[in-house]
Amino acid sequence: MDLDDIAARLGVPVDDVHRVHRLAGDRPSAPLPDKADAPAILDRLAVRPDDAAEIMAGWPDPDSPLWTPELRWLLDRSIALVRADLGGHGWLPPGPELPRERGPAWRHLYVYAYLALVDVVRAYHRDHSIDDAVSWATLADLGRNLAIDRRMRREGWPVMQAWLTLHARGGIYELGRLQHQRSGGGTIDLHIPESGPMTPEAVAASLDEARAFFPRHFPDEHYTAFSCGSWLLDPQLLEYLPEDSNIVRFQRRFELEPYEEPEGLDADVEVLRFVFRTLTTPLDQLPRRTVLQRAIVDHLNSGRHWRIRRGRFPI
């Protein structure tokens, strides 16, 4: 198929389609699971019934009228693009942002790509002697992110579709309360999923699990520190939160690096994304039920801005 024609039919920038072609080339794709097996797999991936119903309704059956040739091309090449970087741990958009309002095939194309890669990445996990329980706990971030995207009225997925390629390539592992991302710089990058209170005890247990996990399963990779880049490490939060808050206690584990403006990230937007799960609600309409919510809104209303800070501490 002509790449410029594909881009026009998809309604996306030509450069995005050329990028997919360049990274995927003629590398192998991977098949989706049998449709009959899909409901059980979606359940293992913690996909809610309403999201699962949409995914099944849009399933790329060979005779489905929902799946145009350009959509089938993008699905196949997106799978190949991600599979080609199996074992990678960097940020990897799987393809262009699609106009998701056009139907379930458009809305969930990258979910189908993820489903096709479940067996691929689980084989990678087995090659590294990683327990099935860790594999499924890690991969179940799909269901969590689909539920969040639904709460965000479909505003959140463009970031999530790239985020989930970490899971599909074996680049990140959910160990207790925290997600731990492999890196090429000698650090394990920490991420905080939406999965309950971030108590010091839960954080400590997750860190201890990671201290044993990575030397056991990735003995050729040598990590000397935990690191994190997040608005949660912004010292301005200390102006609002009590000393014994979980966020303050998490923040105090880290030695902050000198501040640098992160490329392509707006901290104010990220705070709204994670605290309120919205990107478009006016400040005066946001909830103020918690100390953190009031802090975020009051800070922005005063004309100030949040910052994403990076920090680390020794393993």
**E strand or H helix that includes residue 172:** strand 172-175
pLDDT for the residue 196: 87
The CA distances from residue 53 to 45, 46, 58, in Å, are 14, 13, 9
Question: Is residue 153 scored above 80 in pLDDT?
Answer: yes
Question: Which of 84, 67, 87 minimizes the C-alpha distance to 20?
Answer: 84
Token pair recorded at residue 37: 């097996």
Percent share of the chain, pLDDT over 70: 100
**Separation between Cα atoms, residue 70 and residue 90, nearest integer Å:** 27
pLDDT for the residue 264: 82
Own/partner contacts of 128-135, CB < 8 Å, gap of 24 or more, are 128/170, 128/217, 128/218, 129/216, 129/217, 130/173, 130/217, 134/173, 134/174, 134/175, 134/213
**Separation between Cα atoms, residue 65 and residue 70, nearest integer Å:** 12
**Separation between Cα atoms, residue 187 and residue 189, nearest integer Å:** 6
Give the pLDDT band of residue 89 (cuts 50, 70, 90): very high
pLDDT for the residue 237: 97
Question: Is residue 156 scored above 80 in pLDDT?
Answer: no
The CA distances from residue 229 to 56, 223, 258, 309, 310, in Å, are 36, 17, 12, 6, 4
pLDDT for the residue 43: 98
Q: Hunting for tokens 């994190």 — which residue is that?
A: 228
Q: What average pLDDT does range 21-39 have in this prediction? A: 97
Predicted confidence (pLDDT) per residue in 195-216, tens digit: 889 999 999 999 999 999 999 9
Burial of 307 (0-12, 13-18, 19+ CB in 10 A): middle
Give the pLDDT band of residue 68 (cuts 50, 70, 90): very high
Q: What average pLDDT does range 63-84 have in this prediction? A: 97
| Mean per-residue pLDDT of the chain | 96
Question: Which of 274, 282, 281, 278 minimizes the C-alpha distance to 306?
Answer: 274
Burial of 37 (0-12, 13-18, 19+ CB in 10 A): exposed
DSSP assignment string, 141-156? HHHHHHHHHHHTTT-S
Question: Is residue 159 scored above 90 in pLDDT?
Answer: no
Of residues 192 and 184, the one with the higher pLDDT is 192
**pTM of the complete model:** 0.94
pLDDT for the residue 23: 97
For residues 203 and 178, the answer to whether their CB atoms sit within 8 Å is: yes
Give the pLDDT band of residue 265 (cuts 50, 70, 90): confident
Question: Is residue 154 scored above 90 in pLDDT?
Answer: no
Question: Is residue 31 scored above 90 in pLDDT?
Answer: yes
**E strand or H helix that includes residue 207:** helix 200-217
Report which residue type is found at 307.
R
Predicted confidence (pLDDT) per residue in 100-125, tens digit: 999 999 999 999 999 999 999 999 99
> Which of helix, strand or coil describes residue 312?
strand
For residues 213 and 175, the answer to whether their CB atoms sit within 8 Å is: yes
**Separation between Cα atoms, residue 193 and residue 145, nearest integer Å:** 10
pLDDT for the residue 188: 98
For residues 97 and 12, the answer to whether their CB atoms sit within 8 Å is: yes
> How far apart, in Å, do the first and last CA atoms of the chain sit?
50
Backbone angles phi, psi at 226, to 5 degrees: -90, 145
Question: Is residue 1 scored above 80 in pLDDT?
Answer: no
With the C-alpha atoms ordered 217, 221, 224, 228, is the resulting torsion angle positive or negative?
negative
